[in-house]
Amino acid sequence: MKKNLTTIILALCLGYLGGYVGGKSSQAPETNKASFAAVNSTHLSDYISSENLPDAASADSTQLEALQYKVGLLELQLEGLLQNINDDKSPTKQITETISSNLPVRPDRESLMAAGISTEKAEKLLRQMSQQEYERLELQNKIRRNKGVASNEYRKQLRELNQNRISLRSELGDNAYDKYLFASQQNNRVKISSVMSGSPAESAGFSSDDIILSYDNQKVLAWADIRRLTLEGEIGSYTNVDVLRNGERISLMVPRGTLGVQLEPVQLDPAE
C-alpha cells in the first residue's frame, strides 16, 4: 500500500516540477533526512529555496540537478506523511492536499497590492522576476546545446543568476512580506505540534499549539527561519522567543541550539 501511494504522489510531484527527471537518481544528504525526521509537514517551498540548499547541490545549478534534489526532498516528505496517515480520510487525498498546500505560489499583482505594495512597485517586481525566469530558461537551453568551455561558461552565468535572484522577502521587508503571504493564502507562521521530553523547549515552558512569532527578536514566518536562527549565536547562551498562546503574546527564554519541538505551518492574520 505504501509503495503504491508513494508512486502515485511522486508522479504528481514530478509533473509539477517539470515533467521529467533524467540521468542517475539523486538522494538528499543524510543531514537533510534528519531535519525532515524532526519536523512533520514543514513549509517545503521555504526549505528548498536556494539559501537552504547544501553547497554540493548549488555547485552546479542546471535545471536537471535542481529537479533531482527537489524530488529527493519530496520523497523524504512523503515518508513522514505516510507514517501519519489518518484512517478516517483517504490517504491519497490527504497526502496530495498536504503537498499541494506547501508548493510555491507564483506572485501576482493583486496579492502584492493587498500587502500594501504600490501598483508601480508590484508591476516592477513582477517584471523583474519574469525577466530573470526567462534568462534562467535561456541559459539552461544553451547549456544543453553546448559542450566543453562554452557549456561551462553558461553554467557559471546560471550560478551567478541564481545567486542574485530576486527575493520577495528582501525586496518587501518582513512586515510587508508577512502581509503578502497571508493575502496570497500561504502559510506565514509555524505552530508547535508537540514538545519533546527533556528538551530545552519543555524546560522553558513551551506548549503544543503555541505559535512562534519571533526568535531573538527576529520575525519567524517559516520553519526555515527557526532552522537558521537556532544555528546562530553561542550554544547555551539564552535568548527570547515570543509565542502566541490562546490569543496572548508570551515571551520565553531558551538556550540557543536545538529547541526540541515538532512544528507545522499555519496561517495567521498579521494584524493579530
90 and 118 assigned to the same domain: no
User: Who has greater pLDDT, 33 or 208?
Assistant: 208
Q: Is residue 271 part of a domain?
A: no
Q: What whole-number distance in Å separates Cα of residue 143 and Cα of residue 145?
A: 5
Q: Is residue 211 part of a domain?
A: yes
Of 113, 265, 240, 79, which is closest to residue 189 (Cα–Cα)?
265
User: Who has greater pLDDT, 35 or 150?
Assistant: 150
pLDDT of residue 55: 44
Domain boundary residue among 102, 120, 141?
Answer: 102
73 and 136 assigned to the same domain: no
How large is the average pLDDT for residues 75-80?
Answer: 59
139 and 165 assigned to the same domain: yes
In the numeric block, which cell numbers belong to residue 143? 547549456
66 and 131 assigned to the same domain: no
> CA 60 → CA 73, 96, 119, 158, distances in Å?
18, 30, 36, 9
Domain boundary residue among 121, 154, 183?
Answer: 183
pLDDT of residue 142: 94
pLDDT of residue 271: 86
| Sign of the C-alpha dihedral computed for residues 126, 133, 219 and 42 taken in this order | positive
pLDDT of residue 105: 72
* pTM to 2 decimal places: 0.61
pLDDT tens sequence across 229-265:
999 999 889 999 999 999 999 999 999 999 999 999 9
Report the domain count for the chain: 3
How large is the average pLDDT for residues 86-98?
Answer: 49
176 and 216 assigned to the same domain: no
Q: Is residue 128 part of a domain?
A: yes
Residue 18 has pLDDT above 60, yes or no: no
User: Who has greater pLDDT, 245 or 78?
Assistant: 245
142 and 232 assigned to the same domain: no
96 and 116 assigned to the same domain: no
Domain hosting residue 71, numbered range: 2-102
Domain boundary residue among 146, 168, 183?
Answer: 183
Residue 119 has pLDDT above 70, yes or no: yes
pLDDT of residue 120: 95
pLDDT of residue 74: 67
In the numeric block, which cell numbers belong to residue 258? 536545538
Mean per-residue pLDDT over the chain, rounded: 76
255 and 179 assigned to the same domain: no
Q: What whole-number distance in Å separates Cα of residue 144 and Cα of residue 15?
A: 21
pLDDT of residue 78: 64
In the numeric block, which cell numbers belong to residue 234? 553561542
Q: Is residue 272 part of a domain?
A: no
Residue 252 sits in a domain whose CATH number is: 2.30.42.10
Phi–psi pair at 224, nearest 5 degrees? -60, -30
114 and 98 assigned to the same domain: no
pLDDT tens sequence across 121-161:
999 999 999 999 999 999 999 999 998 999 999 999 999 99
Placement of cell 541550539 in the chain: 257
In the numeric block, which cell numbers belong to residue 216? 531573538
Q: Is residue 32 part of a domain?
A: yes
94 and 29 assigned to the same domain: yes
Q: DSSP readout, the chain?
A: -HHHHHHHHHHHHHHHHTS---SS--PPPHHHHHHHHHSSS--HHHHTSGGGS-HHHHTS--HHHHHHHHHHHHHHHHHHHHTT--TTS-HHHHHHHHHHHHS-----HHHHHHTT--HHHHHHHHHHHHHHHHHHHHHHHHHHH--HHHHHHHHHHHHHHHHT---HHHHH-HHHHHHHHHHTT---EEEEEEE-TTSHHHHHT--TTPEEEEETTEE--SHHHHHHHTTSS-TT-EEEEEEEETTEEEEEEEESS---EEEEEE---TT-
CB 240 within 8 A of CB 229: no
Q: Is residue 259 part of a domain?
A: yes
147 and 196 assigned to the same domain: no
Q: Is residue 65 part of a domain?
A: yes
Q: Is residue 253 part of a domain?
A: yes
pLDDT of residue 263: 95
Kindly report which listed range (75-79, 176-180, 214-218, 252-256) carries the lowest average pLDDT score. Answer: 75-79
Return the C-alpha torsion angle 168, 171, 174, 177, nearest 10: -40
96 and 148 assigned to the same domain: no
